[in-house]
């Protein structure tokens, strides 16, 4: 089991403490998160901090804080890296997965919990997967039995589901018609027991719901099919055994960008790609990792982010760039948190579709929103609501 996956499994109680008591705001200013990191003494404080930055839409700080916690060093490209790129063709990852999904019954895809880019990519697959017969979306992070009635996540839905891109994933899945289910273990078990219970929960759901195909979104090493130290088998390997179905397993974590290009694997930047891709050899075999044993069927490579108006370019697909009118904000002191909620969700405790921190009147930062009506909430550094108003994104 990877060090970071183990750390994350262990620090969940601290994560709850990190946002508890009088300091219970979910979406925090960067300065407040930084201050908490300076006073927190837990060894996993940088991982919790990275998650808090991701909740607030601060992708850059989420990556850099995580890398500090992982004590990240430079990656030195090898001759084998260059040779592998020369011998393989770059192909659009989304299109490859959708094409292959036609002949699959069960897909398992992972994420890094501090990296919303992975949720955005899974979201980009939903419409095509639905057309190809997928009807069920299993989420490790959700504990919400009413999600399929309400059709959107609320703050009580789960741990990581308060992050805007996770909320968007859930909203889009329900809009398309997916039935969402949680499969997390009840807690208190060893790592091995947790993998077994997760797999059994998914298998039990599959046995009761047989009218479509299944997409499982999980964290880190739960996607592994083969032997995993300490666990013996991860959730995917156990589920393969219980369901007697060979899942199509997709890793998004190993070859994703780090906070600096120097930390990132050579594949991430060498092709100068803008969209997630896979590498396909002459024999049509898809690259699925460097180390042995191979744990997943394919590895999705996430290239370097380009920033548009201080926001990641991968947020722009299918969305409109919305500039909050400065006339609305000039009377307030900066910085400000600006949160955009889909119409009708704010009053019910919903999750922002997007959130930004504006640090100055001349900031070029923009919201990325799908067309529709939204409620905007503006908060000051005391987390007091300074303004709220309705907008329509066309």
| Average pLDDT of the residues in 115-135 | 98
| Average pLDDT of the residues in 252-278 | 97
| Average pLDDT of the residues in 244-261 | 98
What is the per-residue pLDDT for 360?
Answer: 83
What is the per-residue pLDDT for 330?
Answer: 80
Residues 6+ apart with CB under 8 A from 263: 67, 72, 73, 74, 75
* 17 has a pLDDT exceeding 50: no
Cα–chain center distance at 111: 5
Alpha-carbon span 165 to 150, nearest angstrom: 18
| Average pLDDT of the residues in 158-183 | 97
What is the per-residue pLDDT for 20?
Answer: 35
What is the per-residue pLDDT for 89?
Answer: 97
Q: Render the burial of 250-261: b for 16+ CB within 10 Å, e for the rest.
A: bbbbbbbbbbee
Model pLDDT for residues 208-248, shown as the tens digit of each residue: 999 999 999 999 999 999 999 899 999 999 999 999 999 99
Q: What is the mean pLDDT of the chain?
A: 93
* 356 has a pLDDT exceeding 70: yes
Residue 77, token pair as written in the block:
């490209």
Residue 312 to residues 57, 174, 309, 372, Cα–Cα distance (Å): 10, 25, 8, 21
Residues 6+ apart with CB under 8 A from 287: 84, 88, 278, 279, 280, 281, 298, 299
Structural domains present in the chain: 3-69 (no CATH), 79-305 (3.40.50), 313-393 (2.60.40)
Looking only at the bridges linking them, the beta strands covering 385-393 and 227-228 are unpaired
Cβ-contact 202, 153 below 8 angstroms: no
Crossing angle between the packed helical segments 93-101 and 116-131, to the nearest 10 degrees: 40
The Cβ of residue 316 has, within 10 Å, a number of other Cβ atoms equal to 15
Smallest Cα–Cα separation from 6: which of 61, 43, 40? 43
* 5 has a pLDDT exceeding 70: no
Local confidence band at 162 (pLDDT 50, 70, 90 cut-offs): very high
* 339 has a pLDDT exceeding 80: yes
* 284 has a pLDDT exceeding 70: yes
* 13 has a pLDDT exceeding 50: no
Model pLDDT for residues 56-73, shown as the tens digit of each residue: 999 999 999 999 999 999
Model pLDDT for residues 294-309, shown as the tens digit of each residue: 999 999 999 999 999 9
Smallest Cα–Cα separation from 1: which of 238, 295, 231? 231
* 328 has a pLDDT exceeding 90: no
Q: What angle do CA 76, 77, 79 make, to 5 degrees?
A: 135
Alpha-carbon span 266 to 65, nearest angstrom: 21
Q: What is the DSSP letter of 42?
A: -
* 188 has a pLDDT exceeding 70: yes
Alpha-carbon span 54 to 26, nearest angstrom: 11
Local confidence band at 23 (pLDDT 50, 70, 90 cut-offs): low
Cβ-contact 241, 50 below 8 angstroms: no
Q: Which residue has the tokens 């930004």?
A: 356
């Amino acid at each position: 089991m990877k060090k970071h996956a183990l750390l994350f499994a262990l620090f969940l109680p601290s994560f709850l403490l990190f946002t508890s008591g009088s300091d219970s705001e979910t979406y925090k200013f960067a300065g407040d998160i930084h201050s908490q990191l300076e006073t927190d003494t837990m060894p996993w404080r940088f991982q919790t901090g990275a998650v808090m930055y991701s909740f607030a839409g601060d992708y850059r700080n989420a990556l850099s804080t995580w890398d500090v916690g992982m004590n990240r060093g430079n990656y030195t490209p090898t001759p084998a890296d260059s040779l592998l790129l020369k011998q393989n063709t770059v192909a659009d990852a989304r299109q490859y997965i959708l094409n292959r999904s036609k002949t699959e019954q069960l897909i398992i895809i992972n994420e890094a919990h501090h990296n919303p880019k992975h949720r955005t990519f899974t979201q980009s697959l939903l419409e095509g997967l639905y057309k190809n017969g997928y009807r069920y979306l299993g989420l490790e992070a959700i504990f919400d039995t009413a999600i399929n009635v309400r059709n959107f996540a609320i703050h009580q839905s789960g741990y990581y589901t308060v992050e805007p891109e996770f909320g968007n994933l859930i909203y889009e899945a329900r809009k398309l018609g997916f039935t969402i289910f949680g499969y997390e273990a009840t807690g208190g078990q060893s790592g091995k027991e947790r993998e077994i219970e997760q797999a059994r929960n998914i298998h039990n759901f599959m046995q009761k719901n047989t009218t479509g195909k299944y997409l499982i979104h999980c964290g880190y090493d739960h996607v592994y099919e083969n032997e995993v130290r300490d666990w013996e088998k991860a959730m995917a390997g156990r589920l393969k055994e219980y369901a007697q179905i060979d899942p199509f397993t997709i890793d998004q974590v190993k070859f994703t960008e780090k906070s600096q290009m120097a930390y990132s694997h050579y594949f991430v930047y060498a092709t100068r790609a803008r969209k997630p891709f896979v590498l396909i050899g002459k024999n049509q075999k898809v690259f699925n990792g460097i180390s042995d044993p191979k744990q997943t069927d394919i590895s999705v490579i996430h290239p370097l982010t380009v920033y548009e108006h201080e926001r990641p370019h991968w947020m722009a697909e299918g969305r409109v760039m919305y500039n909050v009118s400065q006339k609305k904000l000039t009377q307030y002191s900066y910085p400000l948190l600006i949160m955009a909620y889909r119409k009708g969700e704010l009053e019910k405790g919903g999750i922002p579709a997007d959130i930004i921190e504006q640090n100055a009147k001349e900031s070029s930062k923009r919201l990325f929103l799908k067309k529709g009506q939204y409620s905007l909430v503006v908060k000051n550094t005391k987390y007091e609501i300074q303004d709220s108003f309705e907008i329509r994104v066309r």
